[in-house]
Structure 1
C-alpha cells in the first residue's frame, strides 16, 4: 500500500507542475527553471540553456503508465536536453503511386 501511496503522491506532484501551464526543467545544481513555453518550443528556440546561461539537465516526467506515443515524445525531449538542442529531422513524404506527396 505504501508503494501505491508513493506513486499517487508522485503523480499528484507531476500533475500540479503541469496544471499551472508552466514547463519545469531541472538545471545544473538541482534547481528548477520554469517557463510558460512548452518543452518542444523552448528547446527549439533556446536549446538546453536558461536565459542566464545555466544548463538544463532534465525534463522531469513520469515513465510508468505512460502511453507509447507520449513516452516517445518524452524520449525526444530527453535526447534534446542531452544534446543541448532540439533538432528535428527533415520531413519526408510518403510515395503514393510512385510519386511523392508535396
Structure 2
C-alpha cells in the first residue's frame, strides 16, 4: 500500500512541475489564469498589470507562510505593483564613502 502511495505522489509532483515549468502564472479578473515566459518582475515593468489582450491582472499567486523574509518582501513588492498597475523601481542612491558619493 505504501509503495503505491509513494509512486502516485511522485507522479503527482512531476505533473505539477511540468505545468508551471519556466512560466509565470498570473490570475486575471474573472478568475482566469494568464501564463507568460517572462518572470513576474520583468512582465510587470514592461507591460504593467495587464495581459496582451487587455485583461487586468489581479494576483500573482505565491506562498505566504514558511517564506524567508527577503522572498516575502519581493512577493509583497509584486502585490503592490499589481495594485498600482505597474512595477516601478525606486531611483537608486549611492552610498557615500569618505564624504563623496560613488558614481
- TM-score w.r.t. length of structure 1: 0.82
**Which structure 1 residue ranges, 5 or more long, are not aligned?**
1-11
Deviation at 1:88, TM superposition (A): 0.7
* Deviations 1:10-34 (CA, angstroms, capped at 9, x unpaired): xx6xx73785110000000000000
**Which structure 2 residue ranges, 5 or more long, are not aligned?**
1-12
Q: What is the DSSP-based 3-state SS (H/G/I as helix, E as strand, rest coil) of the residue aligned with 1:25? A: strand
1:19–1:52 CA distance, 2 compared to 1 (3 A): closer
Residues in 2 aligned to 1:96 and 1:52: alpha-carbon distance in whole angstroms: 48
* Deviations 1:44-65 (CA, angstroms, capped at 9, x unpaired): 0000000000000000000111
Residues in 1 aligned to 2:69 and 2:19: alpha-carbon distance in whole angstroms: 19
Match of 1:5 in 2: none
Runs of 4+ in 1 over 2 A off after TM superposition: 15-19
Residues in 1 aligned to 2:60 and 2:18: alpha-carbon distance in whole angstroms: 12
Match of 1:3 in 2: none
How does 1:47-66 map onto structure 2 within 5 Å?
A: 47-66=48-67
- TM-score w.r.t. length of structure 2: 0.81
Paired residue total: 89
RMSD of aligned Cα (Å): 1.6
Residues in 2 aligned to 1:24 and 1:93: alpha-carbon distance in whole angstroms: 35
Match of 1:43 in 2: 44
